[in-house]
Amino acid sequence: MKIAPSILASDFSRLAEELKDIEKGGADYVHLDVMDGHFVPNLSFGVPIIKALRSCTNLPFDVHLMTYHPEEYLEGLEKAGTHMVSFHVEAVPHLDRMIHNIKDRGMKAGIALNPGTSLASIDQVLPLLDFVLIMSVNPGFGGQKFIPYSLDKIAALSAMIKERGLTIPIEVDGGVNKDNAPLLKKAGAEILVAGSSVFGKEDRAAAIRDLKV
Ligand code: DX5
Ligand code: ZN
């Protein structure tokens, strides 16, 4: 299991140290939540902050765009040394174009699905994707409660990927903790995003270890 701590739950006045702490603690990626105050009812940070953080860690950047017009951020994210980018299927009418746009810039392309969005929404483009991000809370805030029906959705997606002979990792985001991590693994998740369950703990290495089921 790979762990991507979300810095949304970290101390924003000490971002460089927070990044060092999770890198030392065994994190596999850093999850960076970009919010525009429109697609989700909250604002977080954008490309300038992500760019500034690039020199603070060697961990690969996993950028989650919770925005309308996510294509507008791609040039900046590419320059900021981003490894993987996910955008929301609910925000983009041209999925195929957007996926190619990300890949042409040398980044891994993922689509994020809100809890209420059907897997059918990515049916046609599934083979083009490098990963799928299943939201297990309604996006916009950290520290929310895991939505239990996400487990069935992850299992269904995992079956859909296997049936089609594909190998596409499933990333899960929202309310992930050490109690649901084993269930998420069983359902087919391979990357767990964790905000409060990592940065809310004093010992980040122990918190990350607890999630690596
Ligand atoms: C929610 C964000 C998440 C968030 C997760 O909209 O996409 O990445 O930081 O936070 P926790 O793990 O606290 O639910
Ligand atoms: Zn996220």
Q: Please identify, by atom number, the ligand 1 atom nearest to the C-alpha of residue 40.
A: 6
Alpha carbons within 13 A on the beta-carbon side of 211: 31
Q: Which two tokens stand for residue 204?
A: 């980040």
Task: For ligand 1, pick from 61, 173, 211 the residue to mutate: most ligand atoms within 8 Å of CB.
Answer: 173
Give the chain's radius of gyration (CA, Å): 16
CA of 41 to the centre of ligand 2 (A): 14
Phi-psi category of 81—alpha, beta or left, where left has phi over 0 and alpha has psi -120 to 50?
A: left
Q: What is the pLDDT of residues 10-36, one digit of tens each?
A: 999 999 999 999 999 999 999 999 999
Q: Give the domains, in start order, of the chain with CATH numbers.
A: 2-211 (3.20.20.70)
Model pTM? 0.98
**Selection from 148, 173, 129, 171 nearest residue 35 by Cα:** 173
Instruction: State the 10-residue block means of pLDDT for the chain, 213 residues long.
Output: 98 98 98 98 98 98 99 98 98 98 99 98 98 99 98 98 98 99 98 98 98 97
| Locus of tokens 């929310």 | 144
Q: Which two tokens stand for residue 115?
A: 């809890």
Instruction: Look at residue 70 in the predicted model and tell me its pLDDT.
Output: 98
Instruction: Look at residue 206 in the predicted model and tell me its pLDDT.
Output: 98
Q: How far apart are CA 57 and CA 67, in angstroms?
A: 25
C-alpha separations of 6 from 92, 128, 172 in Å: 23, 25, 12
Instruction: Look at residue 75 in the predicted model and tell me its pLDDT.
Output: 98
Cβ proximity of 90 and 100 under 8 Å: no
**Selection from 96, 38, 40 nearest residue 71 by Cα:** 96
C-alpha separations of 102 from 50, 56, 97 in Å: 17, 24, 9
From the CA of 192, the nearest ligand is 1
Residue 193 burial (C-beta neighbours within 10 Å; 0-12, 13-18, 19+): buried
Q: Please identify, by atom number, the ligand 1 atom nearest to the C-alpha of residue 195.
A: 12
Instruction: Look at residue 185 in the predicted model and tell me its pLDDT.
Output: 98
Instruction: Look at residue 114 in the predicted model and tell me its pLDDT.
Output: 99
SS3 (DSSP) at 132: strand
